[in-house]
Copies of this chain bind each other. A is one copy, B any other.
Amino acid sequence: MADDRISLVFAALADPTRRAILTRLTEGDATVAELAEPFDMSQPAVSRHLKVLERAGLISRTRRATARLSHLEAGPLREVTTWLARYQRFWDESHERLDELLAALQGDRAHDDRNGTDRR
């Protein structure tokens, strides 16, 4: 995924209403009217959020009679999750603290060796 696309996906996810719309779409495709109702929002406001989601590739839209149906496209969510997974080894704080402790101990030892310090 190109850098710009990842940025678009993260930006689209940086809004609680847009995340709630995605959650609603996991239950099935929905019209703008159906999406607006539970959020107590105007349809133009929902439409603006849908445009951001569509630009990020997180939804696709199709026409059903006079209504436009929004459909969840989860592919970009998988891609940003793959990006996030790189940091998994830094999540385990105890592991991280252990690394820091080891680095500090090695640092102390190197410092002592350089200075010929008598360690007690």
A residues with CB within 8 A of B: 3-4, 6-8, 10-11, 13-16, 19, 22-23, 26, 72, 74-75, 77-78, 80-81, 83-88, 90-91, 93, 96
Least distance between A22 CB and chain B CB atoms (Å): 7
Out of B16, B26, B88, name the residue touching A87 (CB < 8 Å): B26
Given A10-B11, A10-B14, A14-B11, decide whether A75 and B87 contact each other with a Cβ distance below 8 A: no
| Main DSSP-derived SS at the A contact region | helix
Contact assessment for A84 and B91 in the assembled complex, using a CB-CB cutoff below 8 Å: no
- The complex is assembled from copies of this chain, and their number is 2
Out of B74, B75, B87, B93, name the residue touching A77 (CB < 8 Å): B87
Taking CB as reference atom, which chain B residue is nearest A79?
B91
